[in-house]
Structure 1
Amino acid sequence: MDNGSAHGSGDVKTNHLERSPYRRARSSGAGRRIQPWRHGDLHHGLRIPWYFADEPKPGRTGSIDASYGIFYAGMWGSNVDFGGSGTGQELATVEIDYYAGIAPTWKGISFDIGGLYYTYPGAFDPGTEFDYFELKTGASYTFGESFTVGVTNYWSPDFFGETGTGNAIEGSAEYVFGSQLFNFFTPSVSALLGYQDVDDLGDYTYWNAGLTLGFMDNWSADIRYWDTDFSEAGCVGFNGGANNCDARVVGTISASF
């Protein structure tokens, strides 16, 4: 999701693996999935990621978010590619996610408690269900004005494809530099480490690290390295493709309005 800030974005979603190199897992900065707006307003954003891999493909995403006080809600959409069925029919080409929650603060700690519902309109999913729900609980703390650490948990009663209970926990860190680069860019570095476990699919660890350059108030450019500890065989079982969990570098241009 576009988080509305000019830095700390690392957020990429283009595959049903919530936390793979294709798809950002989403706490502060490094790969956050949903960061609520902290003020009462209505915003929308555009994100264009590009994957530097064996088969690079551009992605297009957009979001609209609203908040009032500690309450927030929004929706996010993207093109996706889950491949084809045995009959040649595309499994899914569009993803639209809906989310809402609260983001209170207490003694300098920022909390985020919300629900996320992932949908794939027009998906070809006979015998199973792609759509699913997750409960998100997270907290983050900023030391001074520059260094933020966070932990976030995502729990689903029935994960993608009706594969049973799913749970993921992520730790993240972000440092925002106090001075501008070339009097134009506001640089930040961020990283995330996560662990995903699903009843019928097993478990794996994922991580990312990258550099974000904020500019012109509403724009940011992000370059990020993603990887998992999946073997090719494990990736086929979890995601349907041996190369879908490989390491890769993702470049993203984002704007919020």
Structure 2
Amino acid sequence: MTRSTVLLPLSLAALLAASPALAQTATGGDWSFEIGTGTDNRSKNASKSGNDGYAFGSATWESGDGLFYAGPAFQTIQSGGSNLEAELVAGYQPEAFGYQFDFSLAYKNRLDADPGYDAETVELTADISRSIGPARAGLQLQYAPQAAGSTESFTWVEGEVGWAFSDRIDASVAVGRREQDNGPDYTGWNAGVTLAMTDAIALDLRYYDTSAHADGEQYEDALVAKVAYAF
């Protein structure tokens, strides 16, 4: 049995396991959508688009009480012969003791990848954050038992601090560490500003860098601009 025939059923089973809770809160739920483009597709501070521009989009259903969400997404990439990564994600985002939590499971597939390329992965993510006035801080923990491509399992830990200068202007700095099997371990960081140009359109300008320049162009530093339209 191949890994592809194992990952997809396991991912779907985990998503379906949450369906009773989702169904209980489905009444009054809403859909939201986002599309956008950027000068480079950065994930964990490294490029997924060959340091070229990319497009992305998502459709997200959220329960009436705001606790549960689920939906598909896509982003253009350049990896293993694939130019498009599709994603299905489901999550639970409670609030307790003044902290916001977000626990999610994502299944990702790099479509039309070269034969023999490992195109699928499942990622487990836990986020915790807290805001006090204009200041906020967050911590993200992520694990994949088998990543796409030649990388096997990996862990990602990232801390972020931010400051809302106004309802329209927000700045943040984040530092993360990726440990992976059959791939370079590295530290990455980014700093930037997000400007809400309207209630629906946001512009993000951010500088990225990593400690793994010697491991390829995708790990080199870059100034990235991104615009997103939410509706």
Q: Distance in 2 between matches of 1:102 and 1:203?
A: 29
8 Å CA contact 1:220–1:254 kept in 2: the answer is yes
Is 1:166 the counterpart of 2:166? The answer is no
Residue from 106, 118, 122 that aligns with 1:129:
118
Give the 5 Å matches for 1:32-47.
40-47=29-36
1:182 alignment counterpart: none
Q: Distance in 1 between matches of 2:62 and 2:94?
A: 12
1:78 alignment counterpart: 75
Is 1:107 the counterpart of 2:97? The answer is yes
Distance change in 2, residues 1:164/1:58 (3 Å): closer
8 Å CA contact 2:90–2:105 kept in 1: the answer is yes
Tell me how far 1:101 sits from its aligned partner: 1.1
8 Å CA contact 1:130–1:162 kept in 2: the answer is no
8 Å CA contact 2:184–2:212 kept in 1: the answer is no
2:15 alignment counterpart: none
Q: Distance in 2 between matches of 1:243 and 1:201?
A: 14
Q: Distance in 1 between matches of 2:131 and 2:221?
A: 30
The structure showing larger relative contact order (alpha-carbon pairs under 8 Å, at least 6 residues apart) is 1
Query: Which 4+ residue blocks in structure 1 deviate beyond 3 angstroms?
Result: none
Give the 5 Å matches for 1:138-149.
138-144=127-133, 146-149=134-137
Tell me how far 1:221 sits from its aligned partner: 0.8
TM-score (norm 2): 0.79
Give the 5 Å matches for 1:1-257.
40-51=29-40, 57-68=52-63, 69=65, 70-82=67-79, 91-126=81-116, 128-144=117-133, 146-161=134-149, 163-178=151-166, 186-232=168-214, 235=215, 242-257=216-231
Q: Distance in 1 between matches of 2:35 and 2:118?
A: 28
- Percent identity over the alignment is 25
SS of residue paired to 2:196: strand
SS of residue paired to 2:217: coil
Q: Distance in 1 between matches of 2:150 and 2:78?
A: 19
Tell me how far 1:231 sits from its aligned partner: 3.4
Distance change in 2, residues 1:196/1:217 (3 Å): same
Tell me how far 1:137 sits from its aligned partner: 1.0
Q: Distance in 1 between matches of 2:105 and 2:228?
A: 24
Query: Which amino acid counterpart does residue 248 of structure 1 have in structure 2?
Result: A
Deviations 1:35-69, CA, capped at 9 Å, x for gaps: xxxx9420111111014x9x863211111111102
Tell me how far 1:130 sits from its aligned partner: 2.1
Distance change in 2, residues 1:206/1:125 (3 Å): farther
8 Å CA contact 2:57–2:75 kept in 1: the answer is yes
Name the count of aligned residue pairs: 194
CA RMSD of aligned residues (A): 1.9
Tell me how far 1:162 sits from its aligned partner: 5.4
Distance change in 2, residues 1:254/1:113 (3 Å): same
SS of residue paired to 1:163: coil
TM-score (norm 1): 0.71
Distance change in 2, residues 1:45/1:167 (3 Å): same
* Structure 2 unpaired stretches of 5+: 1-27, 41-46
2:22 alignment counterpart: none
